[in-house]
């Protein structure tokens, strides 16, 4: 197990040999360090993403965006974070208190577990085992439970409608995400995150798998946008209809958890797209282009991964601030009548490409 930017081998040696701690205590301390590192990176990325979207939104709408707190408004997200931390948590009557309090933690835990699978570089990931992609899909599905519990336990018609919309939307679009992931797993021949990255060392899958990989990429980006409840698929939080949707009754840090998870889910969706289609942390290489490949290798893998994630996140944010919100029947029709059949056909097409060796 390796944490981001942390040499756990050196830490283990320091704890067991230099400080002469018991093995079980050393492992416990290492796990705590990994957890603290994960929380730190998770929180900092969320603040960066909030600022990132605000500036992109402002550019699309021909305005400046945050520009008062700190140089170029860089401290605005930090100021908002402190405001969220010190806000009072309003205690409501006639709600299921246990489920109401549990819901935001389920959402944040699901987001953090999925975040831990992403590869930031060669060995720079927290969780890596032979069914990493399967684990990623499984834990990312937990978030919908938190949203359903939040809507139901709030004892409010707006939150209930929002959570039911979200449940129908996320369960539906998880099928498309699962099939696109399965399509690329067929091409990779492995569910291990590190193996999938290694298979793209010579050429990214979006080029290697050509037509089926490109179709899978487009469908994944659409389904991933819907899975994160972002516009034009933001019906669960439709302000003009449901005030704030499933988290209408939440305040203080509990609302902050939902807000935090929304932005980190955007990063997770972009990170998985980078992993499956754009090589993860692997630089851009083309077979036979030795000089070009050598130049690409000068850029560290972590920089490559972050650049891909921010570029793909820009596309998803672009969706939100360009297209109008869909109706619920249009949203579900898009999945069940169009994306799902295309996905099933594309999966068969990818198998044919692999069996007959038609990929690059």
**What digits encode the pLDDT tens for the residues 2-40?**
333 344 566 767 777 777 777 778 788 888 887 888 888
Tens-digit pLDDT profile for residues 127-177: 788 888 989 989 988 888 888 898 888 888 888 888 888 888 888 899 999
> Which H helix or E strand runs over 63?
none
Among residues 255, 249, 258, 260, which one has the least CA distance to residue 159?
Answer: 249
pLDDT in tens, 189-232: 889 998 999 899 888 999 988 899 999 999 999 999 988 888 78
Tell me how crowded residue 316 is: count the other CB atoms within 10 A of its CB.
20
Residue position matching structure tokens 């019906």: 235
Return all residues near 156 (Cβ < 8 A) that are at least 6 apart. 248, 249
- Can you tell me the mean pLDDT for 95-112? 88
Phi, psi of 192 (to 5 degrees): -80, 130
Mean pLDDT of the 113-131 span: 84
Q: Using 50, 70 and 90 to split pLDDT, how confident is the model at 241?
A: low
CB 223 within 8 A of CB 173: yes
With beta carbons less than 8 A apart as the criterion, state whether 139 and 110 touch. Answer: yes
pLDDT in the model for residue 304: 94
Identify the pLDDT of residue 8. Answer: 58
What is the predicted pLDDT for the residue at 183?
94
Contact 62, 326 (CB under 8 A): no
Is residue 263 within 8 A of residue 50, CB to CB? The reply is: yes
Per-residue DSSP letter, 73? G
pLDDT digits (tens, 9 = 90+) for 294-346: 888 888 889 999 999 999 999 999 988 888 888 888 989 999 999 999 999 99
Statement: residue 1 has pLDDT above 70: no
For the residues 53-64, what does the mean pLDDT come to?
A: 91
User: What are the boundaries of each domain within the chain?
Assistant: 1-86, 87-355
Rg (CA), the chain: 21
Give the single-character DSSP code of 1: -
> Which tokens hold the place of 92?
């409501």
Give the burial string for 111-146 (b: 16+ CB within 10 Å, else e). bbbbbbbbbbbbebbbbbeeebbbbbbebbbebbbb
**pLDDT level of residue 277 (50, 70, 90 thresholds):** very high
Task: Say which residues have a Cβ less than 8 Å from residue 292's Cβ, sequence separation at least 6.
Answer: 285, 286
């Amino acid at each position: 197990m390796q944490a981001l930017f942390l040499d756990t081998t050196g830490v283990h040696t320091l704890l067991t040999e230099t400080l002469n701690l018991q093995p079980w205590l050393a492992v416990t301390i290492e796990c705590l360090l990994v957890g603290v590192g994960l929380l730190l990176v998770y929180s900092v990325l969320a603040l960066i993403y909030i600022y990132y979207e605000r500036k992109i939104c402002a550019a699309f709408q021909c305005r400046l965006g945050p520009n008062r707190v700190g140089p170029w408004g860089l401290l605005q997200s930090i100021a908002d974070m402190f405001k969220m931390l010190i806000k009072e948590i309003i205690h409501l009557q006639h709600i299921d208190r246990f489920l109401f309090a549990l819901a935001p933690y389920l959402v944040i835990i699901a987001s953090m577990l999925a975040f831990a699978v992403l590869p930031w570089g060669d060995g720079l990931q927290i969780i890596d085992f032979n069914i990493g992609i399967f684990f990623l899909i499984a834990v990312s599905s937990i978030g919908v439970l938190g949203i359903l519990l939040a809507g139901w336990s709030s004892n409010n018609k707006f939150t209930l409608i929002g959570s039911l919309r979200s449940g129908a939307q996320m369960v539906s679009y998880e099928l498309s995400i699962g099939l696109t992931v399965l399509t690329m797993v067929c091409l990779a021949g492995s569910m291990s995150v590190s193996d999938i990255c290694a298979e793209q060392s010579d050429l990214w899958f979006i080029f290697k798998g050509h037509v089926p990989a490109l179709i899978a990429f487009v469908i994944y980006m659409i389904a991933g946008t819907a899975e994160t409840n972002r516009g034009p698929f933001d019906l669960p939080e439709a302000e003009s209809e449901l005030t704030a949707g499933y988290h209408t009754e939440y305040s203080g840090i509990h609302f902050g958890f939902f807000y935090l998870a929304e932005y980190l889910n955007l990063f997770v969706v972009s990170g998985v797209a980078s992993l499956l289609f754009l090589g993860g942390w692997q630089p851009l290489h083309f077979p036979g282009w030795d000089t070009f490949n050598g130049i690409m290798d000068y850029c560290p893998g972590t920089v490559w991964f972050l650049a891909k994630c921010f570029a793909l996140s820009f596309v998803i944010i672009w969706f939100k601030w360009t297209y109008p919100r869909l109706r619920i029947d249009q949203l579900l029709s898009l999945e069940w009548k169009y994306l799902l059949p295309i996905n099933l056909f594309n999966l068969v097409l990818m198998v044919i490409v692999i069996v007959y060796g038609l990929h690059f």
